[in-house]
Amino acid sequence: VDDVNDAQKEILFQKISKYFGNNLAGKTIAIWGLAFKPRTDDIREAPSLVLISQLLQAGAKVQAYDPVAMPNVKAVFGGQVQFLEKQYDALSGADALAIVTEWGDFRVPNFELMKQKLKQQVIFDGRNLYEPEQVRKLGFYYSGIGLHGDDYITTPKTL
């Protein structure tokens, strides 16, 4: 079980890295959700810690938002990560969004505001919160996780 859990923590980074041609230097990745699970500030074994470490090692900049766990993650990473007090501010100028914890606020987002804030309309959904077809129709590249995750990789419409 631990091996499966550890492998699961690697998947989002692998998808992000592959999308950007294994070159994340200079890319900005927004992260929604830092806690191990919603409604807690507990970050023990949190997938976000692994993802942030991998992104930073690959040369990416990380902008993060979580309703309650930011102080705990800040204690781990300090100034290496930019923490934003508002959910959509974490998206400003980001090349992609990675959703790591399924907080209720993330389940029904303002996709139009997301499009305005993100530099590229790219979502890596580690919690499969969204209906892939709906997100695709809105012009996002979308990659979920799990049984049908790779079936739903889509390319954005030409704007």
Rounded to whole angstroms, the maximal C-alpha distance in the chain is 44
Instruction: Choose between 15 and 9: higher pLDDT.
Output: 15
Q: How confident is the model at residue 3 (pLDDT cuts 50, 70, 90)?
A: low
In which residue are the tokens 């959904």 written?
125
Domain assignment present for residue 158? The answer is: no
Residues constituting the chain: 159
Domain assignment present for residue 39? The answer is: yes
CATH number at residue 142: 3.40.50.720
Domain assignment present for residue 36? The answer is: yes
Single-letter code of the amino acid located at 122: V
Q: How confident is the model at residue 148 (pLDDT cuts 50, 70, 90)?
A: low
Six-digit token pair at 2? Answer: 């631990």
Q: What is the 3 state secondary structure string of 107-139? A: HCCCHHHHHHHCCCCEEEECCCCCCHHHHHHCC
Percent share of the chain, pLDDT over 90: 84
Rg (CA), the chain: 14
Q: Tell me which residue range forms the domain holding 29.
A: 2-152
Q: Count the domains in the chain.
A: 1
17-53 tens-digit pLDDT = 999 999 999 999 999 999 999 999 999 999 999 999 9
Domain assignment present for residue 159? The answer is: no
